Chains A and B, each alone.
Chain A
Amino acid sequence: MTKTAAASPYGFRYIGTKRRAKEHARFVTGHGNYAADVTLPGLKHVALAASPHASAKILAIRTDVARAMPGVHYVLTGEEFCSATDSLPIGVDAPKVTRWALARDRVRYAGEWVAAVVADSRALAEDAAELVEVEYEALPHVTDAEQAMAPGSALVHPAHGSNVVLHRDFIWGPVEDQFAKAEHHMRFRAIWNRNATVPIETFAVMAQWQPGTEILDIWASIQMPKYPDQTAKALRLPGNAVRVHYDVDVGGSYGVKRGIKHTVLVGFLAKRLGMPVRLVEDRLENMRGGDMHGPDRSFDIDAAFDGDGTIRALRIRAIDNVGAYAGRAPFQLGKPVSAICGPYKIPAIAYEPISVLTNKTPQEAVRGFGQAPTNFAIERTIDRIAGFLTMDPIALRQKNLIQHDQFPYTIPSGSTYDSGDYHAVLDKALAAIDYPALVERRDQARRAGLLAGIGIATCLEPSGGNSAFEPLLNPKNETTTWMDSCLVRIDLSGAITGIMGTSSSGQGHETLVSTVVGEILQRDPAQIRVIHADSLSALPSNSPVGSRMAIMLGGAAAGAARKIKETLLAIAAHNFECAKDDLDYRDGNVNLKGVPSKILSWDQLVEIAHRKFHAMPPDVEPGLQEKFTWQVPTGGGLPTPDGRIQIYPCYAFETHIVYVEIDSDTATPTIKRYVCGHDCGVMINPDIVHGMTYGGIAHGIGAALYEQFTYDDNGQLTSGTFMDYLIPSAREIPAITIVDHCTPSPLTTFGQKGSGEAGYLGAPAAVANAINDALAPRNVEINALPISHLAIWDALAGRNSR
């Protein structure tokens, strides 16, 4: 029973058609294989003793009682661990801000791991962890970034000499001049409080040391570039002594499944004890000590503009509270440089990113890598300018959006946007929501005494991650490639296998690779298998981060498939004694043009390649397999002295239109309508793109209204469970309409752009704008997320709740 698939809107055979995702069947039938499903004989379990203090000296740790418990195999403390392993990498130039999985001498946040217990079961390990006695001397702590920057503040890492780990002043374009010429200036502060992606599956890792081969095998729920390399380096092992098994499913991530500290800890224990060891975070460990919080940022914005709505320049100061350690997280101030003026023609930008250490849980990458907060700040700016000028916020956007005929468009900070038709997407979204009718509905609701508002956001999703913000923010880092690869092989039976070199965390890479390879080779993607190599047999990959895999893995898979196709054509040309140009390739069979009898079928060609060397052309390798490793398009450059650099290659666009009503007596907001217009170029699998976008919007609504890692005055996390960290459920998320548009990217194989961060990059801004439109008749405003009931009530009552 086959259903005829709808035709591809782009004229492809498989790309863009509605097809079942390859991996979803195993997820919905309960056949996923997650890190905690993998087990080994004699497996031992880890639990952690965590610091109750936000900041304290460790005076003594007594482990003998815990160690003596039956079933307990080891209690590891920082004393031994930090001597035997190296610090985890520090992204910015702050070499004294070292970081290990276990604290030594000093704890820097509540929940920081102090000791690890290995026992026969997780429950026993938890029992023993309670018996680890730690003597602390409490030290002053600081959780507020601006207090941490002030002279005399408690220092999180005294050896670093300050709490600031990154502070730059970028001036791109004639900022002073534009401010001098502008008719109006406007300043305000926007605050994005801490949230994250909080996956159902917490971080899980299992390690086993093989003394015979001297290989450390690792199974982990990982989404992280350079993970095997960093693990090996911290464990002082050669890179080829760590084998990461990428064929485990990952139960959610969108950035946060980094787990490097967990892995080094478990790897060390497995090797030290000669036993397989597993750590599966519980929810509290994940929320408090899993180092998975996202950006925590305040923006001071100064905008220069004219009375006709022309935006001349922006000054943006972004202070980010990075928490107690600085791994890769400060770079989340860097990615937004790639789209620092949003989709607008703003000729001059000053950007002052500051990354500050505090006694909060360390940050990790979260969906968008800093772009969602920046988009929120920019979009609040646009609405505030519209309010200042009493101009329609849509008209203001239409005036300042880059026009379709201006692409490729280079922004002041040095990135060139590849393509786009922002006005068309905005128009489509306005039509889909019937904007004039929506305005009438809002106005009627207002006349009936309700608070009602419409919010718009027009935002970019930089995609194709090349991490060029690393050399921009750390001159000692000269990384200029961020390649990805694919190996395609055809076996003797003629079956096709695509081999990728990283794990997937829900992005549907098996569907991606099979669709692309099927497209090139004209073979049914349903019959193409895609596997995840382990790190010792994998080709180079930089993992699915930065909305890059449709572009990078898609491009690599297409490149390898094209090489296979060329080989098949070469075999046929040799056997027909003709030129390749004289041949037709159809469905994997090759025939001489105009001579139907002269045909070599797929099976025959495969058999020649595998068995009949005598029928092979000279200089063609037997066996049918090809690899392709691709550098990120437009990547490879270092920043100019004034800090200009092409960061990501492709720029997807999204516009959100939201209608909100607020019950003013109870301060309860309800989202009544939601339309998202989305252009990520050619969608290889529209269902996967739409799924990620729906999820991203839900995630963004969470950031806008519900989710926050809150801390009390003692530096304790007060939202460490799902009682207090509020993830919106199906009851809070409205029906969402997505309207597609396609402006192909000229830089990619099929015109695709990235989409993994879609929705989340614009939803918080749009919801915040809608709430503020609703509050406008009362002359109050909220510029801090999340906008809780309490914040709305306080604003309506004229109080400042924050």
Chain B
Amino acid sequence: MKSPAFEYARAASIDEACELLSQHGDSAKVLAGGQSLVPMMAFRLLRPHWLIDISEIAPLQYIALETDVARTGACTRQCTVQCDATLAAQVPLLRQALAFVGHAQIRNRGTIGGSLVQADPSAELPLVAQILQARLVVRAKSGPRTLTAEDFFTGPMTTALAPDECLTEIQWPVWPDRSTGSAFTEVSRRHGDFAMVAAGAQVAVDAAGQCIRAAFGVGGAAPTPVAFPDLAQRLVGTSFNQALLRDVAQQAAAALEPGADTHASAAYRRHLAAVLATRVLQSAYDTARAAR
């Protein structure tokens, strides 16, 4: 469980990281918190010739709050995001999801961007990015571009990131509605494991308690985490009656392509998707109403 030999470079700036990636991108991996990459190298499942360490680049570590968007630097530690009360007030789903990411020790090292780039289909942060339709800013030596979460996640452990690109910023939409609620939950064998199935939802209501905006998604049950904007739209204008909720959740579950492993069968995952989607939608709705 020792990695094969590799070259290591600690980038002092984003420009230097991009320069190094332009030279070695095809045979390089970017090291941020190292919580997935380092074990995979130790298992020799990944054998990069170059390791480009961006964890010390201060301009990649920030939380910037604007009216309609919260911007986080890609190298911001998960614990920093989790502990930021102002951010939690604007994008509550992030903190709710982070409570399920590994354990405190992992969140102390792990970064927001690292988890997104890793793109594990059952990981929590990619699911939140999908649900909220986050935008991801990536940089190459030639310049930046911005991707939607939907375009970013292309398959299990794969993203639209080019070999010479580095994720630099994640833009989390902030819902302006005062009466917004969100919820995140998952089922795993043990706390801190990758979810067998995870689900998150965010709902806004008007003064009458009618839904004016809804979003939800499911992780761990398809090659990427999946958001269901069209199904969520069916909830707008309603007061979330049980039959409608169940029907929406069932349709979402039916649209998934869950896999099977030693912990969960495809049928169990599909079942969990429906149960958890119902629960997070109901909980988000209840929270939104209570927030009025």
Query: Which A residues have a C-beta under 8 Å from some C-beta of B?
Result: 121-123, 126-127, 130, 282-284, 665-668, 706, 710, 718-719, 721, 723-724, 726, 728-729, 731-732, 788-790, 793-794, 801
B5: which A residues are within 8 A, CB to CB?
123, 127
Query: Which B residues have a C-beta under 8 Å from some C-beta of A?
Result: 1-5, 43-44, 103, 187, 189-194, 196, 262-265, 268, 271-272, 275-276
* B42 to A, closest residue via Cβ: A282
A47 to chain B, nearest CB (A): 8
A130: which B residues are within 8 A, CB to CB?
44
B190: which A residues are within 8 A, CB to CB?
706, 726, 728-729, 731-732
Contact between A729 and B196 (Cβ–Cβ < 8 Å)?
A: no
B189: which A residues are within 8 A, CB to CB?
706, 726, 788-789
Asked, given contacts A284-B43, A729-B192, whether A789 binds B4 with beta carbons under 8 Å apart, the answer is no
A208 to chain B, nearest CB (A): 23
Asked, given contacts A726-B189, A789-B187, whether A719 binds B1 with beta carbons under 8 Å apart, the answer is no
A278 to chain B, nearest CB (A): 14
In the complex, which of the residues B43, B103, B194, B264 contacts A790, with contact meaning CB atoms closer than 8 Å?
Answer: B264
* B276 to A, closest residue via Cβ: A666
Assembled-state Cα–Cα distance A482/B18 (Å)? 68
A721: which B residues are within 8 A, CB to CB?
43
* B271 to A, closest residue via Cβ: A793
Contact between B187 and A666 (Cβ–Cβ < 8 Å)?
A: yes
A283: which B residues are within 8 A, CB to CB?
1
Contact between B262 and A666 (Cβ–Cβ < 8 Å)?
A: no
Assembled-state Cα–Cα distance A726/B189 (Å)? 8
B192: which A residues are within 8 A, CB to CB?
729, 731
Q: Is the interface of B mostly helix, strand, loop or mixed?
A: loop
Contact between A665 and B263 (Cβ–Cβ < 8 Å)?
A: no
A713 to chain B, nearest CB (A): 12
In the complex, which of the residues B4, B191, B264, B276 contacts A732, with contact meaning CB atoms closer than 8 Å?
Answer: B191
B193: which A residues are within 8 A, CB to CB?
723, 726
Contact between A790 and B263 (Cβ–Cβ < 8 Å)?
A: yes
Among B191, B262, B272: residue with most chain A CB under 10 A: B262
Assembled-state Cα–Cα distance A724/B44 (Å)? 18
Q: Is the interface of A mostly helix, strand, loop or mixed?
A: loop
Contact between B187 and A126 (Cβ–Cβ < 8 Å)?
A: no
Contact between B43 and A126 (Cβ–Cβ < 8 Å)?
A: no
B268: which A residues are within 8 A, CB to CB?
667, 789-790, 793-794
A719: which B residues are within 8 A, CB to CB?
262
B275: which A residues are within 8 A, CB to CB?
665-666
A-B contact list, 14 entries, CB within 8 Å: A123-B2, A123-B3, A123-B5, A126-B1, A126-B4, A283-B1, A665-B275, A666-B187, A667-B268, A718-B262, A719-B262, A732-B191, A788-B263, A789-B264
Beyond A122-B2, A788-B263, A801-B265, 13 extra complex contacts between A and B, CB < 8 Å: A123-B2, A123-B4, A126-B44, A667-B268, A726-B193, A731-B191, A731-B192, A732-B191, A788-B189, A789-B264, A789-B268, A790-B263, A790-B265
* B269 to A, closest residue via Cβ: A790
A127: which B residues are within 8 A, CB to CB?
4-5
Assembled-state Cα–Cα distance A370/B276 (Å)? 40
B272: which A residues are within 8 A, CB to CB?
666
B4: which A residues are within 8 A, CB to CB?
123, 126-127
In the complex, which of the residues A126, A668, A706, A801 contacts B2, with contact meaning CB atoms closer than 8 Å?
Answer: A126
In the complex, which of the residues A123, A667, A710, A793 contacts B262, with contact meaning CB atoms closer than 8 Å?
Answer: A710
Assembled-state Cα–Cα distance A586/B191 (Å)? 56
* A285 to B, closest residue via Cβ: B1
B5 to chain A, nearest CB (A): 7
Among A723, A788, A790, A794: residue with most chain B CB under 10 A: A790
A789: which B residues are within 8 A, CB to CB?
187, 189, 196, 263-264, 268
Assembled-state Cα–Cα distance A282/B42 (Å)? 10
B172 to chain A, nearest CB (A): 28
A767 to chain B, nearest CB (A): 15
Assembled-state Cα–Cα distance A86/B1 (Å)? 30
Assembled-state Cα–Cα distance A121/B5 (Å)? 12
Contact between B191 and A729 (Cβ–Cβ < 8 Å)?
A: yes
* B196 to A, closest residue via Cβ: A789
Assembled-state Cα–Cα distance A89/B4 (Å)? 37
Among A121, A666, A728: residue with most chain B CB under 10 A: A666
B104 to chain A, nearest CB (A): 11
* A712 to B, closest residue via Cβ: B262
Which 4 pairs show the lowest CB-CB distances between chains A and B? A282-B1, A123-B2, A731-B191, A665-B275
* B191 to A, closest residue via Cβ: A731
Assembled-state Cα–Cα distance A18/B1 (Å)? 42
Assembled-state Cα–Cα distance A77/B190 (Å)? 41
Among B1, B5, B275: residue with most chain A CB under 10 A: B1
B257 to chain A, nearest CB (A): 19
B3: which A residues are within 8 A, CB to CB?
123
Asked, given contacts A731-B192, A790-B263, A793-B268, whether A284 binds B187 with beta carbons under 8 Å apart, the answer is no
Assembled-state Cα–Cα distance A158/B192 (Å)? 45
Among B2, B43, B44, B191: residue with most chain A CB under 10 A: B2
Assembled-state Cα–Cα distance A788/B187 (Å)? 12
Assembled-state Cα–Cα distance A731/B188 (Å)? 12
B138 to chain A, nearest CB (A): 28
A723 to chain B, nearest CB (A): 8
Assembled-state Cα–Cα distance A728/B193 (Å)? 11
Assembled-state Cα–Cα distance A731/B103 (Å)? 10
Assembled-state Cα–Cα distance A732/B188 (Å)? 11
Assembled-state Cα–Cα distance A793/B264 (Å)? 10
Assembled-state Cα–Cα distance A788/B271 (Å)? 16
* A789 to B, closest residue via Cβ: B189
B44: which A residues are within 8 A, CB to CB?
126, 130
Assembled-state Cα–Cα distance A186/B271 (Å)? 35
* B194 to A, closest residue via Cβ: A723
A693 to chain B, nearest CB (A): 22
Assembled-state Cα–Cα distance A85/B271 (Å)? 56
Assembled-state Cα–Cα distance A123/B47 (Å)? 13
B105 to chain A, nearest CB (A): 11
* A705 to B, closest residue via Cβ: B189
Contact between A668 and B187 (Cβ–Cβ < 8 Å)?
A: yes
B184 to chain A, nearest CB (A): 15
A202 to chain B, nearest CB (A): 10
A580 to chain B, nearest CB (A): 61
* B262 to A, closest residue via Cβ: A710
Assembled-state Cα–Cα distance A283/B43 (Å)? 10
A600 to chain B, nearest CB (A): 59
A2 to chain B, nearest CB (A): 37
* B3 to A, closest residue via Cβ: A123
Assembled-state Cα–Cα distance A282/B43 (Å)? 10
A723: which B residues are within 8 A, CB to CB?
193-194
B276: which A residues are within 8 A, CB to CB?
666
B50 to chain A, nearest CB (A): 17
B284 to chain A, nearest CB (A): 18
B45 to chain A, nearest CB (A): 11
Assembled-state Cα–Cα distance A436/B263 (Å)? 36
Assembled-state Cα–Cα distance A284/B192 (Å)? 21
B195 to chain A, nearest CB (A): 11
* A711 to B, closest residue via Cβ: B262
Contact between A724 and B2 (Cβ–Cβ < 8 Å)?
A: no
B262: which A residues are within 8 A, CB to CB?
710, 718-719, 724
B272 to chain A, nearest CB (A): 6
Assembled-state Cα–Cα distance A123/B44 (Å)? 11
A792 to chain B, nearest CB (A): 10
B114 to chain A, nearest CB (A): 17
A665 to chain B, nearest CB (A): 5
B99 to chain A, nearest CB (A): 11
A284: which B residues are within 8 A, CB to CB?
1, 43
Assembled-state Cα–Cα distance A706/B189 (Å)? 7
Assembled-state Cα–Cα distance A789/B195 (Å)? 12
Assembled-state Cα–Cα distance A721/B262 (Å)? 13
B265: which A residues are within 8 A, CB to CB?
790, 794, 801
Among A130, A665, A801: residue with most chain B CB under 10 A: A665
Assembled-state Cα–Cα distance A729/B193 (Å)? 11
Assembled-state Cα–Cα distance A624/B262 (Å)? 62
